[in-house]
Structure 1
């Protein structure tokens, strides 16, 4: 027995174990009076009534004249996605110690010239907010949802100043009341579970006094005619909380009006159910009868009357116009689809924790890099199946065309950010890192995927194409390519337009998006809707004896991008009030880029679904 008790710990030491660690999720215990680091992030415009700017500013921009720590601020390491989203995290001069309350602590005495006072007042009118990060938690304000009555922490930050009382004389918030919610593990160890910051404007300078009066009733208004002198100050209060460390993000992860999300999802499911029912009825009642009739005809007879979709069986697999461009679009769209699906799966399993800043963008970029093989494989098989023979040109375009287009658009928008001295401008080192990821990893994987697709070869077609194309009769107006794409895009857009509002608010309004369950279900519904709508419209097109269906399937699938851009125009008119030309260019540039990516995703889903439906349709009939 003694031998057994001795061997068990030794065996446990050498027993292999499986474990994993999620970055950003490790708790930190503090003891009493231990220092708590306070980091500052960029100043971003807040989405309150309307968003007035899209330009973020570095916290230590010399025009703000904020207090700096001794020796200067130190930049903190950030993920690639965090940098792309504009985070610039730096140290600060704030001194916090666990369980040590303090009142009216002087941060520094600031001097603001009249030129910079005008700049600060303009930022106050544009409702810019400050962002602190304490123990990985963003600074927030406690608010109440007017619809659900739920109390939550709004992590947009806190206002730089107040311009609502008097827009002509905005007040600068120069005193911050910081409340730290902590959870006691035991009598000696404590954890931070909440950070609240409430700013105030206080003209705290008193003649002859070296320090500020933080309880003065006068607000601080920066003069644009003379130089300004004032104090920055803060107070700290520690509040005990019953919330354990593992649930501290629950107060931040507030879904505004979840009934809207459920209503949107149920509405989308109804739309999808209706579409699937329509397609099933068409396939069962119409196509099955046609197939039975065609297969019942004796092929030895000289007379065999065909009409509708059966009449164009010899044309339907003819080589379409611009087959190379079509295959490149389908390949890159499939690449984006796989990237989105895998990222959403990671988000559903909780790997994209909000405590790990920029994790969503980082995972998107990694998935885009390592799934380059999908674009090459899909493009190769599509190009071979639709009759393309210039595989070398197709290989090069698949690997470089759309990445170059997207990088060019982002680069041009980045120039506007640099011209506006915005902190959101992507540094040269980050741009170089992304280009290396693309050139050294994504392009070789795309080439490897392309050769694998060539090895598998083209899909076999159930019928042969006639040597001479037949004449196409006039078509109804709604079956024209552009009209059918716009009409067909309504239903996929209708399945997602409510969720799209929250996505746009997250992209442009600096709101964290974390309703990934709703987003995954919405994406699935939209994909299914896009596939069924594309099949349905192509069937109507074939019945009208129009056999040029390849580009129509792609355009109909990507037709929702037209409505996404139109919705973006409505969002701009109703929720934004952009004053600067740079902000307008940035908004419409990113909106166009978002619509282009949506066009590729929807178009590839529509084409692939339609292609296999058409193969199945014409493979079910006998043709001599």
Structure 2
């Protein structure tokens, strides 16, 4: 199995952007001798619309665009539903290598004297004001809008706007800056026409037809002299902010096919991913993290070696048994260092849940590095994370029970129940409240009732029983034997200096690991908030390993400092020292955004 995985990884590196598990689809011209399993019809699917200026995505039909209700809606996996994706069929349908010019899709008419029409028109204007973006899909590939940016580079956005707005002062906002003809003040310009260019690659020496390698779009706006028979002419189509009466919008499209002999199917995502942030910044982040790791490793090694060297030298200089019995430094608390911590039940529950999430994150990133969870496999990342979390209830129960037993606890039933329900329950409660808010706003991010029931079934019917099984084996094993005996009377802790007090020590311990990941975290959160694709899982996995090492070393270092200060309450402080690293991103996600998908992302990354 391991050899197969390594072989798949090497194959992916050798053949470009390759996704195991997805087979290419071949297309042939209609009316000719078609090859078996070769399609002639290209279907275009539409996804939910979103905006960087709003956290509420909406379904395609919410804006009253042309829609298709005769074809069956494609099924969505759990990850797609959690991310708020709502893929639907569209009336845009093409025949392979058959060009079309200004083909009418539908005409929408609105009368502002009718309340329902006025509400639809106001909602459309709101979407243009907030720069909501279409997301179309052709052959499981995003239809991209490519435009020039600074330094002569080209940026390909996997979405295009529904329109734009020119303010009362004549300032063009968002996509209105691309056209100098958008000069009407206090007007909404509607992109009611799209020029679609589909690039294909003919398979040589094989009778398999052709494969699509790119789908690009250019949104345009045409007023059309006759909305019932549009000819894609005239000036841009705009809607005044205070328009009254009847307003018609004709939606049209043109499609063109271009053969591309350079791009192959296995690397067809490259032109999108290459326009994303460059990897040299990622390497800078890695080098920055490695410097911090080396610095911490040197400090830990120096302190440990110097401590051992002094101890050995002191023992060699002792002349009597009385001198040998004299304790100094951190050895003064050897009789209290294994004393059970306060709230040991809660600490063991947190450690059990943390183990569950840690293993889930490690395995998810490992599969992502192999290419199984790339952006082409929609919803796979979240589906994998949720399924792994459900199946890893056994390690959570085992670790929680084992530690709780080592603390001398006897309420094993309470321990198992808290491990099963405390942390997941808090997340689900917050998730449920957010879902109610999204449902009230009519957002597509609101999870359907059936999916909520499915998640509860996974939690109660699989995760909880597995947690009980793990707890059973944890309590069945003998307790952890401590190397020294704990004193009956707790030692008095002397007055602590500022840097050995709990709060300053926890804050200092969390800042160093956060410095290792803040650049990588910026790219992750920027991808989520800007609705972009994140694909650099190799960098993310390496930073994850560095983060684990840095957290461990920072915890060891600070634990040694406060043990030398004769403070033996180290269990909670060691847990919170590394835990403080996650406070800043959690705070920003939880308070800056109201969508449950950000909360889920925090829970996965935690």
Give the TM-score of the pair, scaled to structure 1: 0.84
Distance in 1 (CA, whole Å) between partners of 2:539 and 2:222 is: 44
Q: Does the 8 Å contact 2:186/2:240 carry over to 1?
A: no
2:29 equivalent to 1:32: yes
The root-mean-square deviation of aligned C-alpha atoms, in Å, is 2.6
Structural mapping, 1:160-175, within 5 Å: 160-163=162-165, 164=173, 165=176, 168-175=186-193
Distance in 2 (CA, whole Å) between partners of 1:532 and 1:286 is: 16
| Structure 1 match to 2:83 | 85
Name structure 2 gaps, 5 residues minimum: 1-6, 12-17, 31-39, 111-116, 166-172, 177-183
Q: Does the 8 Å contact 1:481/1:555 carry over to 2?
A: no
Residues 1-36 of structure 1, C-alpha deviation per residue, up to 9 Å, x if partnerless? Answer: xxxxxxxxxxxxxxxxx9999776111111113111
2:127 equivalent to 1:128: no
2:562 equivalent to 1:541: yes
2:465 equivalent to 1:444: yes
- Aligned to 1:559, the other structure's residue is in SS state helix
| Structure 2 match to 1:283 | 304
Residues 154-213 of structure 1, C-alpha deviation per residue, up to 9 Å, x if partnerless? Answer: 22x11111221478322111111111111111587111111111111211242xx74112
The Cα of 1:508 is off from its aligned counterpart by 2.4
2:48 equivalent to 1:42: yes
- Aligned to 2:287, the other structure's residue is in SS state helix
Residues 94-121 of structure 1, C-alpha deviation per residue, up to 9 Å, x if partnerless? Answer: 1211001111000011123333222111
| Structure 2 match to 1:204 | 224
Structural mapping, 1:498-513, within 5 Å: 498-513=519-534
Q: Does the 8 Å contact 2:145/2:156 carry over to 1?
A: yes
Residues 267-314 of structure 1, C-alpha deviation per residue, up to 9 Å, x if partnerless? Answer: 000000000110000111124422663588689538732222100000
Distance in 2 (CA, whole Å) between partners of 1:459 and 1:252 is: 53
Q: Does the 8 Å contact 1:490/1:560 carry over to 2?
A: yes
| Structure 1 match to 2:161 | 159
Tell me which moved more, 215-224 or 488-497.
215-224
Residues 382-404 of structure 1, C-alpha deviation per residue, up to 9 Å, x if partnerless? Answer: 11223322212111111111111
Distance in 2 (CA, whole Å) between partners of 1:536 and 1:188 is: 62
Name structure 1 gaps, 5 residues minimum: 1-17, 46-50, 573-583, 602-624
| Structure 2 match to 1:521 | 542
Which structure features the higher share of strand residues? 2
- Aligned to 2:195, the other structure's residue is in SS state strand
Residues 213-242 of structure 1, C-alpha deviation per residue, up to 9 Å, x if partnerless? Answer: 213223332664333112100000111112
| Structure 1 match to 2:387 | 366
Distance in 2 (CA, whole Å) between partners of 1:531 and 1:159 is: 46
Q: Does the 8 Å contact 1:385/1:459 carry over to 2?
A: yes
Residues 381-435 of structure 1, C-alpha deviation per residue, up to 9 Å, x if partnerless? Answer: 1112233222121111111111111111111111111011001111111111111
Structural mapping, 1:27-426, within 5 Å: 27-33=24-30, 34-45=40-51, 51-61=52-62, 64-69=63-68, 71-72=69-70, 74-112=72-110, 113-143=117-147, 146=150, 151=154, 153-155=156-158, 157-163=159-165, 164=173, 165=176, 168-186=186-204, 189-206=209-226, 210-221=228-239, 224-242=243-261, 243-254=263-274, 255-290=276-311, 293=314, 300-301=321-322, 304-426=325-447
Distance in 2 (CA, whole Å) between partners of 1:52 and 1:217 is: 28
Distance in 2 (CA, whole Å) between partners of 1:67 and 1:144 is: 29
Distance in 1 (CA, whole Å) between partners of 2:80 and 2:246 is: 36
Give the TM-score of the pair, scaled to structure 2: 0.86
Tell me which moved more, 290-299 or 230-239.
290-299
| Structure 1 match to 2:511 | 490
